[in-house]
Structure 1
Amino acid sequence: MELEFDIFKAWVKDRLKMDLDSYKEKQLHRRITSVMTSAGCSDLKEYAALIEKDSHVRRVFLDYITINVTEFYRNKEIFDEFEAAVNDVLVPRFNSLKIWSAACSIGAEPYSVAMIMEKHKIRNAKIIATDIDDTILVKAKEGKYKDSELKNVEAKELEQYFHRSGNDYLITDAIKSRVQFKKHDLLLDRYEKNFHAVICRNVTIYFKNEAKNEVYRKISESLEKGGIFFTGATEAIYNPASFGFRKLSTFLYEKV
């Protein structure tokens, strides 16, 4: 099984341009076995062939492996700290802001940032949102969300920035226009530079330590001095100085 799994990972890297070697082995084994079984396949060779010929199966595989679970203002208390840092640290420090929401999933995170920009009348801000999954990026650009994904959005914001569409909510064009979506692989692609804030949350927990540290190093290099790195609720960095960071709070780090 181990050899078969290694062959499958090599196939995924070659055909789907996704590096599974950097993911934690036990979690990855479990997730792939689960999604393979759900597709009705008995082994990875059969599953690879099905992924190759069936676009729906391929989309389900990518969605499941890339962990597309999110909501607006995820971990609200922590997001409030980021909002305060934007106002108290970044706005006084920089004439304009360039913000990157990495592994943005369905767009709830970068749109949350866009709403913060609107709320505080920060006009000179560029928000770039990236993800590895083409299908998810299409959904993010559509900007349609369920009640459960909006539970942290205040009633005033819901009325101001969303339109009801059946059982869903559509985000307004004014918020949409503030976010630029791109495809990007944190493990394989080059990182853009000159950011004043990078948000990368609930992603590196699935990576091996070597891959995680490489992501942190590259994020540090992509930030301007004085910029902020915002991590996830289970992703505190225990040696921030080794990446050129100074700890502002448990999940906020300043590039020094």
Structure 2
Amino acid sequence: MTATAPPANPEFEELLVFLREMRSFDFSGYKRSTLRRRVEKRMQTVGVQGYPAYRDYLEVHPGEFDALFNTILINVTSFFRDEEAWAALRDDFVPALLERKQGGQPIRVWSAGCATGQETYTLVMLLAEAMGIEAFRHQVKVYATDLDSEALAEARHAVYADKDLEGLPEGFRDRYFEPAGSRWTFRTDLRRQVIFGPHDLAQDAPMSHLDLLVCRNVLMYFNSEVQGRILARFHFALEPEGLLFLGRAEMIRAHASLFAPAHLGARIFRRAPSGIRDRLFMLGRGGGGPQRTSSTAQQLELRDAALDALPSAQLVVGPGGDLLLANEAARKLFALGAADLGRPLQDLRVSYRPVELRSRIEQVLAERHPVYLSGIEQPGPDGDPRSFDVQVCPLGSPDAAPLGVSVSFLDVTRHTRLQAEVEHANQALETASEELQSTNEELETTNEELQSTIEELETTNEELQSTNEELETLNEELQSTNEEMETLNDEVQRRSEALEQSNVYLASVLASLRAGVVVLDREMLVRLWNDRMGQLWGLRADEVQDQPFLHLDIGLPVERLKGVMRAVLDGRSEGETLMLDAVNRRGRAITCDVTITPLATAAQDARGAVILVEERPAQEG
């Protein structure tokens, strides 16, 4: 059961097809709710309404593709993000990993979805601290991949600002980073141990022989089907003791056969023990390396076929005659151990007791038809005799070579005994049959109710998991927006400081002038009035601010300036100097040179007027 998906939007789906055809980016496996929200955020930024209109915008503006992909591929990350989870990995799992590799064996690590590199370098620092820098350089190889080429370029350069290093443990900045101007760069010798490259988790073949795979807060963006494909690749990529480290919102309950929880709180999982899945990978490849062929589908088909038979004792035998799988009931019934898996069936007692299986298996492989046997006697684990019906069936597609053979032992002891009782007492059989029928009906009803309850619980659980992943996605989007706002705030702060410095500089210049300076707007209102004007006429700047200049009661005959000012403001004059007789604030007669020039913009349009008033020396009056 899966949570209800949002209704499909044909126009949105057409946009996704367009992106795949134009730039080979396939977002079909992403959760639609998150994908729509990120695309609509970009549409709002560029001011476009509707998916068809945005597709037209992309065709006209090719650079918008990169901006859209950067918006969709949220690169929210930091050093030692979720510190408790990293502490659990460091304290509970890294020591065991290093103990297994004491002989200098290589350690392979994959950081999938590495974004701008903080998570990858966190891994490097964690391992270098645990094993020493020299041992790390000689023994560890780290692979870091992402779908975002710009994020990969930033990760390769490994240059970070002070605020990016705030989450580092004490002393880590000085040990692992080198100053680069006003920023910091990760140590070059350790950075050489990291191989960065583009990789699509949903499409590309995985790395292999890994000891640790870190993929945090990436799976939550994909739907359940794509998550399953990615986890199957992760299972193949890991060594038998390999670890998978996921994000705090990611769970893999639906894939418990691939991974078992090692530390659920930290979302650390251990690869499921090697068994039929690995053997089937090898059967599909002929013993070769990982390939993107139909082997994965064959593996899943055979695994499902085998798991469907689990209610009864079941064996799975490969085409070569090796025993690949024995479920718990079969191991108890035939005293099989883990060492028997992979051995030729003919070497085991179960191949001929309680029934000859080798010839039947050869017959099934040759004819590709099941064989049924009944009345097979075999003592149970408690020593009591039991009767079984045996079913030998080919596994795989009817049109292809069989992947193996399933041997099922259905316990019919109860029915055999009931049949014996029938021979002794028909009447007792009829009564027992009625009771048995009633019991079966009640059991079926109970099973149906239980199944219904289980399905409801699974649905609720998946809905809760989906909601949790959606909330985590929203949290990362909010964090990304917050980082953008911090960048804008820094820019505004820088501009404010520059403006403040300009204002201080301008005030210093005006205070240094021996001439009085007045700046008027187009309505002849006072916008600037320097200290020299206050000394000449006895009015402070705050008293004349925004006042009509021609209405000021000062000792300067301002009415005589009106015509010149209007000509300057209308663009009919580039300026003029007048000599006027005036009376200063002390009542002394003075002669002034008054120069009026336009206050022009870059387009040479007069936005106002600048008036310079300079007192002539007494001997020149």
Q: Which residue of 1 aligns with 2:224?
A: 209
1:74 aligns with 2:89: no
The alpha-carbon deviation at position 53 of structure 1 amounts to: 5.7
Residue 200 (structure 2) aligns with: 185
Aligned residue type for 1:234: A
Give the SS at the match of 2:226: helix
Displaced runs of 4+ in structure 1, greater than 6 A?
none
How far residue 182 of structure 1 moved from its aligned partner, in angstroms, is: 0.6
Question: Does 2:273 align with 1:252?
Answer: no
Counterpart of 2:44 (choices 37, 53, 64) is 37
Name the aligned partner's letter for residue 248 of structure 1.
Answer: A
Deviation per CA, 1:163-195: give whole Å up to 9, x if none. 334543221212311211010011121112111
Check whether the contact 1:101–1:127 (CA below 8 A) recurs between aligned residues. Answer: yes
Cα distance per residue 1:33-76 (max 9 Å; x no partner): 11122123223344334445646422221111111100011111
Instruction: Give 3-state SS (helix, strand or coil) of 2:47's partner.
Output: coil
User: What stretches of structure 1 of length at least 5 have no aligned partner?
Assistant: none
CA contact 2:110–2:207 (8 Å) conserved in 1:
no
**1:133-185 C-alpha deviation (Å, 9 max, x unpaired):** 11111111111123343232123110111133454322121231121101001
Backbone CA RMSD of aligned residues: 1.9
Choose the corresponding residue for 1:159, options 156, 163, 174. 174
Note the C-alpha offset of 1:86: 4.6
The range that moved more, 51-60 or 86-95, is 51-60
Question: What corresponds to 2:144 in structure 1?
Answer: 129
Query: Counterparts of 1:43 and 1:168 in 2: how far apart (Å)?
Result: 41
Kindly provide the amino acid, as one letter, of the partner of residue 4 in structure 1.
E
Structure 1 residues 60 and 239, CA, compared in 2 at 3 Å: closer, same or farther?
same
Q: Which residue does 1:174 correspond to in 2?
A: 189
Identity of aligned residues (%): 26
Cα shift at 1:7: 0.8
Does the 8 Å CA contact 1:129/1:182 hold for their aligned counterparts? Answer: yes
> Where does residue 8 of structure 1 map in the other structure?
15
Matched-pair contact (CA < 8 Å) for 1:194–1:223: yes
d(CA) in 1 for partners of 2:93, 2:22: 40
Distance 1:204 1:217 in 2: 13
- Residues 53 and 143 (structure 1), Cα distance of their counterparts in 2 relative to 1, 3 Å cut: farther
- Give me the whole-angstrom Cα distance separating, in 1, the residues matched to 2:60 and 2:118: 31
Deviation at 1:209, TM superposition (A): 1.1
Contact 1:70 1:149 (8 Å CA) reproduced: no
Matched residue, 2:288: none
| Cross-structure match for 1:101 | 111
| Structure 2 counterpart of 1:225 | 240
- After TM superposition, give the deviation of residue 130 of structure 1 in Å: 0.0
Judge which range, 102-111 or 85-94, deviates more: 85-94
> How many Å separate the matches in 1 of 2:187 and 2:81?
20
* Higher RCO (C-alpha under 8 Å, 6+ residues apart): 1
Q: Deviations 1:230-249 (Å, cap 9, x if unpaired)?
A: 00011132245322x22110
Contact 1:39-1:57 within 8 A present in 2 as well: no
The answer (yes or no) to whether the contact 1:193–1:223 under 8 Å persists in 2 is yes
Compare CA radii of gyration and give the structure with the larger one.
2
Q: Matched residues in 1 for 2:191 and 2:57: separation?
A: 35
Bigger shift: residues 38-47 or 27-36: 38-47
Structure 2 portions without partners, runs of 5+: 1-7, 274-621
Partner of 1:119: 129
Aligned to 1:92: 99
Q: Is 1:138 the counterpart of 2:148 in the alignment?
A: no
Deviations 1:81-123 (A, max 9, x none): 1223453221122422100000100011111111122212242
TM-score (norm 1): 0.92
2:212 is aligned to 197
- Match of residue 250 from structure 2: 235
Q: Which amino acid aligns with 2:111?
A: S
1:17 is aligned to 24
Alignment size in residue pairs:
255
**Paired residues of 1:196 and 1:226 also in contact (CA < 8 A):** yes
Identify the residue that residue 71 of structure 2 maps to in structure 1: 64
